[in-house]
A = this chain, B = another copy of it.
Amino acid sequence: MCSYLDGTVNLYMRPEEGVTVAVDLDEMRIVGFVDRVTVPVPKPNGTDYSGLQKRVGPALKRIGLVQPDGPSFAVDGHMIRWANWEFHLSFDVRAGPIISLSLIYDAEQQEFRQVMYRGFISELFVPYMDLTEEWYYRTFFDAGEYGFGLYAVQLEPLRDCPENAAFMDAYIAGQDRKPIKMSNVFRVFERYAGDIRWHHTELGIPGKVIREVRPEVNLVVRMVSTVGNYDYIVDWEFKQSGSIKATVGLTGLLEVRGSNYTHNDQIADEEYGVLLAENTLSAPHDHFLIFHLDLDIDSDSNSFVKFVFRQTPVTDRRSPRKSYWSVVSETAKTKSDTKIKLGSEQVELLVVNPGKKTKVGNRVGYRLIPGSITQPLLSDDDYAQIRRAFTKYNVWVTPYNTSEKWAGGLYTDQSNGEDTLATWTQRNRAMENKDIVLWYTLGFPHAPYQEDFPLMLTLSSGFELRPANFFESNPVLRVIPPGVVEWPNCSIPSVI
């Protein structure tokens, strides 16, 4: 892909359309060249996002998030301990952050309990909906082909994260087999957004007013990966309540195509994309991220359970009501139960430990609260879709297999779809009371709007893993509330 830089630092907004270059990578030599079509190169006007001179107000007054006594977490090598949590954070050149061996301290049972053995982003898939000669093959695997960790950026204090965060470096193997240090790829910090963890006001007791509120303070592990034009912000967030949240924010630059058009009125036939500026078409595309979530709830003998919220008609006159709904529990037994399309029925998805129950007899578990629920929009026989068949379902479940890490296949570049999550799940493996892995596909179908030009504002989604009969009762009721302070007398040394 060739592009002009004259008059802009935006590498993606001035494509030299229609040019295909064939390179022999052994010889490092251009062996072919096609200039298929000539279209205008979009103008540089309005494409810059750095070093802009004309600033727009009003300026917001200064704001800061700080902890006078330092942070509450401790980093010991790659182990992180905070509040009732401990977990291992490691860096993978392909996946980026890997959270593993996460344990939560149960104050009632007075022991650490297993929650997630390992969680990471297994693959990202970004196919463009443009069939022109230079575009149809742009169906990128950002983990398997590029390296989501490899493209991690160096995070900066007070800009990428609030003050009072801790850094962590990463090391990768260089092409000469020597280690290469990547500085500040992770930041760990405590997040306080003014949110409320729980609240109740009681006015119903004569002569008494009860007001109880707790502010929400959580721990966040952040990495930002810039794979070419797009920037992905990945947050793993831990709550004292036992929840683990993952949030992915999409920002950065679009890929655009040069075009003759300067106004929509000139477009008679279907074009691949939307006109965002003069001579600038932007094709719809998807961002699919698939998470590998190997939960081990109190052991590695777990089952996957679907709670179906089912309407029951009332026909026997036992009540003036004509209907109600109740929860029907279905436990996955084999492969056919392991692929979930969400959206058509009201369900909750759980991983439970069938061998362990609460005092009143509920199976201990965690549930997955999905964020966006999307569907793949390519046909099953499309080569791109065959390779990324993992997007076909929102949730998959597999028995743990050490080789089944990469949902798009171990060797993604050469993949023909034979080694993917979709093929693994065709085997009729037992699923009950086993070490199982949950896979969640987080999708962002992206039809561009002019606000995305020349740089897209963060759009976020994710999921939450929330305790579901894991604790005997609310686990944070007796937790000492976070000290929230006011700060009237400060000398402020630095402003950015």
Contact = CB atoms under 8 A, between A and B. Distances in A.
Interface string A171-215: 000000000000000000111111111111111110010111111
B379 A62 contact: no
Contacts of A447: 307, 309, 327, 348
Contacts of A360: 262-264, 275-278, 450
A56 B344 CA distance: 42
Nearest to A325: B377
A342 to B, nearest CB: 8
A290 to B, nearest CB: 18
A391 to B, nearest CB: 12
- Quickly give the copy total for this chain: 2
Question: How would you classify the secondary structure of chain A's contact residues: helix, strand, loop or mixed?
Answer: loop
Contacts of A60: 72, 83, 190, 217, 480, 482-483
A77 interface: no
Interface string A251-275: 1110000000011110000101011
A15 to B, nearest CB: 13
A39 to B, nearest CB: 16
Interface in A454-496: 454-458, 466-496
B204 A228 contact: yes
Interface stretch (A96-104, A141-149, A313-321): A313-321
B477 A486 contact: no
A324 B228 contact: no
Contacts of A129: 324-326
Interface-centre pick from A162, A345, A476 (highest chain B CB count, 10 A): A162
Nearest to A360: B275
Contacts of A457: 197-198, 241, 474, 476
A26 interface: no
A284 B327 contact: yes
A489 B491 contact: yes
A326 B285 CA distance: 9
B309 A445 contact: yes
A95 interface: no
A130, A456, A478, most chain B CB atoms within 10 A: A478
A21 interface: no
A192 B63 contact: yes
A212 B323 CA distance: 56
A64 to B, nearest CB: 4
B309 A156 contact: no
A484 B64 contact: yes
A487 B484 contact: no
Given A63-B65, A373-B373, A471 B450 contact: yes
B72 A485 contact: no
Given A162-B192, A213-B160, A378-B323, A68 B490 contact: yes
Contact of A210 (B9, B158, B249, B468): B9
B490 A494 contact: no
Contacts of A379: 311, 313, 322-323
A136 interface: yes
Given A49-B212, A107-B56, A226-B201, A64 B66 contact: yes
Contact of A131 (B46, B210, B319, B488): B319
A32 interface: no
Given A58-B83, A451-B466, A490-B491, 9 more contacts: A52-B477, A191-B193, A195-B458, A241-B451, A270-B326, A313-B379, A449-B469, A486-B492, A487-B487
16 contacts: A50-B210, A55-B479, A58-B480, A60-B72, A60-B217, A62-B482, A64-B192, A136-B320, A161-B194, A197-B457, A201-B224, A311-B379, A343-B373, A373-B373, A451-B473, A487-B487
**5 A-B pairs with the lowest CB-CB distances in the bound complex, closest first:** A264-B361, A193-B193, A343-B343, A325-B377, A62-B483
